[in-house]
Structure 1
């Protein structure tokens, strides 16, 4: 069993007062005092990612110690206050357990990219929140006719002021790459529709967080949306690979 890093849960009283092992339902009730958006699924997900290792009864039920609850609270706080991905959080906790002094980054605003691991870190692209049409054409190296075709199928969408979100560059390059395999914009309408449905599901989850009175909870909505988007992309990739393995054994 891992030891809880010092100060992992702060002073919110997240640990069990009687120090007895707790069920996952009891842990949920304790954590919700500070993290009202947390769910049992979230706790199970953090366990699956190796962030906490509860004991198991002979019948398979989880039993969380006070140290486990403190560790979970610390993980949730690092996600909420520092917008750190789970990989970085895990490395931070492991370093603390080795006795190393690790400084967390200052609380920051969430990055613009919602989906972790999708954008290419070496890719050069404009840094402005919005770009103009000429910048989009230059970044994607396509002509007006091609861009207009993508827009007619809703793959690239301009704002009312004529500008484009920075994500349009990545979308345009991917559409162009798929086109080299003979996939035309009309073939990609189903992909666009699927993305919009998934965005709707994410919005259903984070909408209550954005309406919450606690400003930290509202700020955490963006981090939650980013994590859900990442999981959705991973699920889509796994399902696609599974479907191709069945069709192309």
Structure 2
């Protein structure tokens, strides 16, 4: 998947968008023609073009697309980080797969990419109706544009909808999150009153650390309930 993934030889067997979807959709059912075009617009993949303007994809393009979608789905990586990883590969390097925990402070503090509502739903293969439902249920804030961090949440809502779980069914999760924040807030009282930048940074980091511990317990409890109910 080096530079050839961007500029495949026209002499090689190429696939149409429909053929690409047929190959990849079993593993990535949320992939749609519009999402594929969105990834192209973001510079992550560059298919060949026929004289008539139709997109054609090589085997290398398909492999590259699988990598992109896997990094999105399994590692929750923003497109900016994925693009940087692919650039390293295109340059002939063999970079380690990045992960959300290892992102640098510069990456976390840099201005995030923003997507219009239309771009946002297209990237997730969803509809504006689902976005509106997510906003109404408190899963996402109402906005004219969204950052890459919101793609993870909305992609999860898309997958849940496929199982018949709508945003309105998850309203209790928002209330639970607010209760958990109250626990975290109380735990941070000893340091939260300090106004210097270093103390504020430690307070935020500690809040995220506590939330990760809560997430571990919540996930384990849910797995336990699933196991018990399945017996």
- TM-score by structure 1 length? 0.45
Which structure has the bigger radius of gyration?
Answer: 1
Q: Which has the higher contact order (CA 8 A, sep 6+)?
A: 1
